[in-house]
Amino acid sequence: MNGHRLSALAEAIGGEWIVRHDDPLIAHLSIDSRKPFTAHDTLFIAIKGERHDGHRYLADLRARGMRSFVVSDATAVRAFPECNILLVHDTLDALQRIAAWHRRHFRAPVIGITGSNGKTVVKEWLFHLMRDSEHVARSPGSWNSQVGVPLSAWAMHDRHTMGIFEAGISQPGEMERLRSVIEPTIGVFTNIGPAHAEGFAHDRAKAKEKAMLFRDAQAVVFCADHAEVAEALRAQGIDQRATMLGWSRERSGWLHVVREEPSAIGQRIHVINDAVDFDFEIPFSDRASAENAIHCVALMLHLGRTPQWIAERTPQLPPVSMRLEAVEGIHGITLLNDAYSNDTASLAIALDHLDALAAGRPKAVVLSDLTGGEEPEQRYRRVEELLKRTMVQAVFTIGPELRSHALPFAPRVEHFSDAQELINRVDPVSLADHAVLVKGARAFGLERVADRWQRQVHGTVMEVDLEAIRHNLNHYRALLGPATGVMAMVKAFGYGAGALELARLFAHEQVRYLGVAYADEGIALRQQGIATPILVMNPEPVSMDLLHRFRLEPEAYDERSLQEALRYAAVHRDAPPVHVKLDTGMRRLGFTEDELPKVIGLLRETKGLRVASVLSHLAASEDPVHDAFTRAQIAAFSRMADAIEAALGYRPLRHISNSAGAARWKEAHFDLVRLGIGLFGIGVDARETAQLQHAVSLRTVIAQLKRATNGTTIGYGRRGLAQGERLIATVPMGYADGLSRRLSNGGGRFWVHGHAAPIIGSVCMDMCMIDVTGIACAVGDEAVLFDASHPITDLARDLGTIPYEVLTSIPPRVKRVHVRG
């Protein structure tokens, strides 16, 4: 089954035809206007949510060739006569109805997985175990939401012999909608815990809601030791209708875990029941991995796999990375490393990430042979479709299947027998300034390609979670009215997080403006293909001609800068617009209210200069103590902006709010808000910070361990003193990496395996020493300076400063790794 006629989908959702031009065969569903698509066989569903509205992008999609739409707002598509347009009350409900109708066409067994943690790992491990014997359709990545589940189910075809889909919820009532889409014949309930608890009074209520997924399942795998899980299954009557495949460490269950012990590769687990008594090994030593593996083994036994079959495969269970890492490569290459999975579903997700990462740059893919239950010819035709849809310019293949199916994947295609041959023969200079996806199975060793093409830096790493930043951007967008846009600040090397990668993300998210401090920051972004309007905010003697050449928009904050812009505009009809800065109380840059008559007089003199915006800065928008002052600033700004607008005869944009102003001062939203520190997960107060996601972490590794006897001195100046027998770790992070010397000798700490390890002695230029006494650790273990569990605000407090200073003090020599969920 390669799709459904649009007329059949219209009947399935009960949609009303607004315009009906033809009846195309629909093979793809889309809810994201930014992603590549094939226009003739894609149906765009305009989802309207709290933070976004797909109807805003319909005109752009039509201009790009899209012709089939499902909408809930008929006014958005009044002038689309050559299109097919279906009107429904709720587009999310329509998406779910389409997927549920599509799912009912298939009779293959479907495994539904829910729980608080481990869903994606269990799903990926089940796929790994069965991929050689079943053709599996499964959720890509962690697609377990109200939109992710139906898009996953849509990928199921009659060639599939098994489906594996995960379902996540955060509010009561959501699981019933997902149950109707998945309709699992077999269930796996991993566990219950604090994740996504905000919509539920307690864990029992959340467990009961999750158990609804298995209402019509024939069998359910679960850990009988989790009382809330077992109780929820009974409360929903699942135990009366389904085979209960409960396993237990503590009591006799359908499967009893007798023993778990370390082994050469990780751990060995011994299980028994009435029919089997055997050991299996997994290449992981932690308890969570053991629990995930036992879920998989219990399900395999239920499906009739033998102990020998299971024991042969569990030692090869792969690590499951939840995120794709983007790192800086040599010759201007940006590498997206996904060198651990190799199927078409995950390839589709990775290509979407590659397209967003490229931001208009050329794209290349290093690809190994893929796995899957379909015939290779069919599999690689699908690969060809995905690569062409993403407009990949170069493809390098590794493996005999891709060589034998030498399809025209891209304008440049080269085939290699192994990773080493590719490394030897492909000059990375030929991929300068490309975005490169490295994608494939572990057996092909593609990580060697990523390592060779990656820019080499030392082991201290700043990890920037782009999905967290996207979440935080959407948090602020939800606070704004539909007419208010966002200026994302990427000055100071993107607050230390990497200006270029952030600018690419914000361009993909269609923010209205980017903000930089100095012209050279804006020029660097333009040279890397960033096309979003850029405001240069700080004073610097830069010629208007240079700003014009790179399409940068300057501030005019005093008579000199305004006169310069006026003179340039008088002789250049396409001169860049200016942004007039007003001083409403910061007493830094900008025209005061007393200076306004002269400003207005100058603006009236030259009609060739366009004023793009009028802006100011709130001095203390985050502090309730100064609210009266903030109100006075907002009032002064409105008066001054009104006067400028009246003089110009048109209305420039207005903006005064920073992140704190966006959260606390709705009356100050105006046309734009300028977001900075809030995008990194630091809210105006504890309540807002809890709603945001921590986006940045800084970590290093233990380089050496040494015993220090009582009285031993440590570091320069012998300032560190061992009190008793101590274990001292040296880590390669010093003040040249942004680690302040104020943290010396107990002023700060690292975190090793969740335990505080205070700095002992003075912080050196390239390293420091930490006291790890009583902490089980080894050379190569991570030492974290700050992350989501140990927030940067705590470190800033120890330093007597603010998070801005901590972030911007971390120099470029520290490797930035940008990860995507």
HSE-up of residue 717 (Cα within 13 Å, Cβ side): 9
So what's the pLDDT on residue 359?
Answer: 81
Residue 278: pLDDT band with limits 50, 70, 90: very high
Count the Cβ atoms, other than its own, within 10 Å of residue 489: 26
Q: pLDDT tens for residues 506-521?
A: 998 889 999 999 999 9
Closest CA to 784 of 819, 725, 820, 739: 739
| Chain mean position to CA 512 | 20
Mean pLDDT lowest among 120-129, 440-449, 617-626, 686-695:
440-449
So what's the pLDDT on residue 538?
Answer: 80
> Taking phi first (over 0 means left), then psi (-120 to 50 degrees means alpha), and beta for anything else, what does residue 370 get?
beta
Strand (E) positions, 290-375? 324-328, 334-338, 363-368
So what's the pLDDT on residue 339?
Answer: 65
Q: Which whole-number Å values give the CA distances from 729 to 22, 251, 685, 708, 770, in the listed order?
A: 70, 43, 36, 10, 5
pTM above 0.75, yes or no: no
Give the DSSP letter of residue 628: H
Give the DSSP letter of residue 572: -
Q: Which amino acid is at 566?
A: L
Structure tokens, 752: 């090793």
Helix (H, G, I), strand (E, B) or coil at 479: helix
Q: Which whole-number Å values give the CA distances from 62 to 80, 88, 296, 726, in the listed order?
A: 8, 19, 45, 68
Residue 79: pLDDT band with limits 50, 70, 90: confident
Tell the residue number behind the tokens 């709130």, with chain if given. 618
Q: Which whole-number Å values give the CA distances from 565 to 213, 439, 543, 579, 597, in the listed order?
A: 64, 49, 10, 10, 18
Cβ atoms 484, 669 nearer than 8 A:
yes
d(CA 383, CA 344): 7
Residue 552, classified by CB atoms within 10 Å of its CB into exposed (0-12), middle (13-18) or buried (19+), is buried
Structure tokens, 169: 């919820």
So what's the pLDDT on residue 458?
Answer: 63
d(CA 62, CA 46): 13
Q: Which whole-number Å values give the CA distances from 628 to 410, 625, 639, 664, 668, in the listed order?
A: 61, 8, 17, 13, 14
So what's the pLDDT on residue 346?
Answer: 79
Q: pLDDT tens for residues 545-569?
A: 999 999 999 999 999 999 999 999 9
With 80 as the cut, is the pLDDT of residue 1 above it?
no
Closest CA to 703 of 736, 735, 730, 668: 730
Helix (H, G, I), strand (E, B) or coil at 481: coil
Q: Could you please report the per-residue DSSP string of 761-777? A: S---SS-EEEE-TT---
Structure tokens, 547: 């700003």
Q: Could you please report the per-residue DSSP string of 648-669? A: HTS--EEEEE-HHHHHH-GGG-
Query: Could you tell me which residues come within 8 angstroms of residue 611 by beta carbon, excluding any fewer than 6 positions away?
Result: 577, 578, 579, 580, 603, 644, 648, 652
So what's the pLDDT on residue 197?
Answer: 59
d(CA 466, CA 472): 10
Catalytic, 568? Answer no
| Cα distance from N-terminal residue to C-terminal residue, the chain | 30
d(CA 345, CA 123): 13
Closest CA to 112 of 311, 345, 295, 310: 295
HSE-up of residue 207 (Cα within 13 Å, Cβ side): 22
Helix (H, G, I), strand (E, B) or coil at 178: helix
Choosing from 598, 607, 666, 716, the catalytic residue is: 716
d(CA 246, CA 248): 7
Please state the rounded mean pLDDT for residues 696-716: 95
Query: What is the CA angle 446-447-450, rounded to 5?
Result: 100
Count the Cβ atoms, other than its own, within 10 Å of residue 587: 9
d(CA 337, CA 437): 6
With 80 as the cut, is the pLDDT of residue 805 above it?
yes
Q: pLDDT tens for residues 635-645?
A: 999 999 999 99
So what's the pLDDT on residue 349?
Answer: 80
Choosing from 208, 363, 491, 581, the catalytic residue is: 491
So what's the pLDDT on residue 200?
Answer: 84
Query: What is the CA angle 645-649-651, rounded to 5?
Result: 45
Cβ atoms 766, 678 nearer than 8 A:
no
d(CA 121, CA 113): 10
Residue 423: pLDDT band with limits 50, 70, 90: very high
Q: pLDDT tens for residues 576-615?
A: 999 999 999 999 999 999 999 999 999 987 778 999 999 9
Q: What are phi and psi of 167, to 5 degrees?
A: -135, 125
By residue count, the chain amounts to 821
Q: pLDDT tens for residues 225-277?
A: 999 999 999 999 999 999 999 999 987 789 999 999 988 888 999 999 989 99
So what's the pLDDT on residue 345?
Answer: 76
**What is the residue-averaged pLDDT of the chain?**
91
Mean pLDDT lowest among 372-381, 417-426, 566-575:
372-381
Cβ atoms 31, 57 nearer than 8 A:
no
d(CA 66, CA 85): 11
Catalytic, 476? Answer no
Cβ atoms 814, 462 nearer than 8 A:
yes
d(CA 8, CA 98): 10
Residue 809, classified by CB atoms within 10 Å of its CB into exposed (0-12), middle (13-18) or buried (19+), is middle
Cβ atoms 522, 490 nearer than 8 A:
no
With 90 as the cut, is the pLDDT of residue 28 above it?
yes
Query: Could you tell me which residues come within 8 angstroms of residue 377 by beta carbon, excluding any fewer than 6 positions away?
Result: 405
Q: pLDDT tens for residues 370-395?
A: 876 668 888 899 899 999 989 999 99
Q: Which helix or strand (DSSP H or E) is residue 477 part of? A: helix 466-479
Q: Which amino acid is at 794?
A: D
d(CA 724, CA 718): 16
Please state the rounded mean pLDDT for residues 349-354: 86
Q: Could you please report the per-residue DSSP string of 86-141? A: EE-S-HHHHHHHHHHHHHTT--S-EEEEESSS-HHHHHHHHHHHHTTTS-EEE--T
Question: Which strands, in side-by-side order, build the sheet including 16-19?
Answer: 16-19, 84-87, 68-71, 42-45, 28-30
HSE-up of residue 582 (Cα within 13 Å, Cβ side): 29
Query: Could you tell me which residues come within 8 angstroms of residue 443 by beta carbon, excluding any fewer than 6 positions away?
Result: 368
So what's the pLDDT on residue 352?
Answer: 85
Q: Treating both helix axes as pointing N-terminal to C-terminal, what angle do 174-182 and 91-103 enclose, rounded to 10 degrees?
A: 30
Q: Which whole-number Å values give the CA distances from 602 to 539, 610, 638, 645, in the listed order?
A: 20, 13, 20, 14
Closest CA to 669 of 625, 620, 621: 621
% pLDDT > 90, the chain: 74
> Sign (positive/negative) of CA torsion 347, 350, 352, 355?
negative
With 90 as the cut, is the pLDDT of residue 766 above it?
yes
Cβ atoms 189, 114 nearer than 8 A:
yes
Tell the residue number behind the tokens 């996601």, with chain if given. 693
